[in-house]
Amino acid sequence: MQKTYRVSRSGDETGLKHIWKTVFGDSDEYIDAFFQNMYTPGCARLCESNGQIVSAAYLLELGNLVSPDIPAVPATVLYAFATLPEWRGAGIGGKVCNMLLRDSKGTARTVCPAEDSLFGYYKTCYGYEHFFYVYEKQLFAAKKPIDIYRVSASAYGEMREKLLHDRTHIRYSGKVLRYQQLLCRNTGGDMIGFEGGCAAYELRDGAVVLKELLTSGSVDNAAAAVCSALKMERAVFRTPYTGKLGNKRPFAMVMPDYFITAQITAPWFGFAFD
């Protein structure tokens, strides 16, 4: 069968949504939110056969990768890479990803693998390197809650930059932050501020999931206090790793075009778009 590799265009949305639903199984609400708030024609690379989209991957503009010691670089992420099951094993997905990598040259090209096993895949097949790490932990509510307040996406971004000013990290654009706030709110969560910190959280399975927790104080204390303030019994949180913390795990990868990964300690990616 003849296959065509190309950039997505207006009118592809139905086919792109079908492959997303088939491969990832996400709800229509979640998929529609992405296409309404993040997708634009031209941001996907795809393979089409006889009018059917059989493989696709998205190139999303995140903002900038910034560092105290290295000039800022526009940052992009390879997202929602999917090939229909019956089309796998023929190298189609690899060609789609290579198109995306070619077209994103000049940016800090990142990927946030959905499973631990995929870190090796992206390294071996495409040359990505481990770069972003997180400290992740589960704990229970503190006896004493903390005063929290809801903030707009733009206000959250300002708070975030102040807390991350001395750490290499992704500085997200307003568009990305607004989308992240929408994802939080769709679960009953939001973006909040509190004394010495801020957090973006979702409510899942009876727990508060702090997708990003930033604080100038103790992360454990902050997470437990926020959990109590939200009247939840259990919290799971992600926060930047430091040498004083345990539970360090790889979170996202980067193509080593601009940064020598060994010289930067545990940069912060932030949101996984999960």
Are 239 and 271 in contact, with CB atoms under 8 Å apart? Answer: no
Q: Residue 69: its pLDDT value, please?
A: 77
79-109 b/e with 16+ CB inside 10 Å = b? Answer: bbbbbbeebeeeebbeebbbbbbeebeebbb
Q: Which domain holds residue 231?
A: 134-248
**Strand partners for 202:** 209
Q: 155 with 100, same domain?
A: no
Q: What is the pLDDT along the chain (274 residues), one digit of tens a residue?
A: 789 999 999 999 999 999 999 999 999 999 999 999 999 999 999 999 999 999 999 999 999 999 887 788 999 999 999 999 999 998 999 999 999 999 999 999 999 998 889 999 999 999 999 889 999 999 999 999 999 999 999 999 999 999 999 999 999 999 999 999 999 999 999 999 999 999 999 999 889 999 999 999 999 999 999 999 999 999 999 999 887 766 788 999 999 876 655 456 678 999 988 7
Residues 95 and 166 in one domain: no
Same domain, 243 and 142: yes
DSSP string, 253-270: EE-TTS--GGGS-S-B--
DSSP per position, 41-53: TTSEEEEEETTEE
Q: What is the pLDDT of residue 260?
A: 55
Residue 33 belongs to some domain of the structure:
yes
Q: From 176, 216, 215, 217, select the one nearest 199 (Cα to Cα).
A: 215
* Total number of domains in the chain: 2
Domain co-membership, 66 together with 140 = no
100 with 147, same domain? no
CATH assignment at residue 180: 3.40.630.30
Shared-domain flag, residues 89 and 138: no
CA 251 to chain centre: 9
- Is residue 234 domain-resident? yes
Q: How many CA atoms lie within 13 A of 29 on its CB side?
A: 5
- Does a structural domain hold residue 122? no
Alpha helix ranges (H) inside 7-114: 13-24, 28-37, 92-103
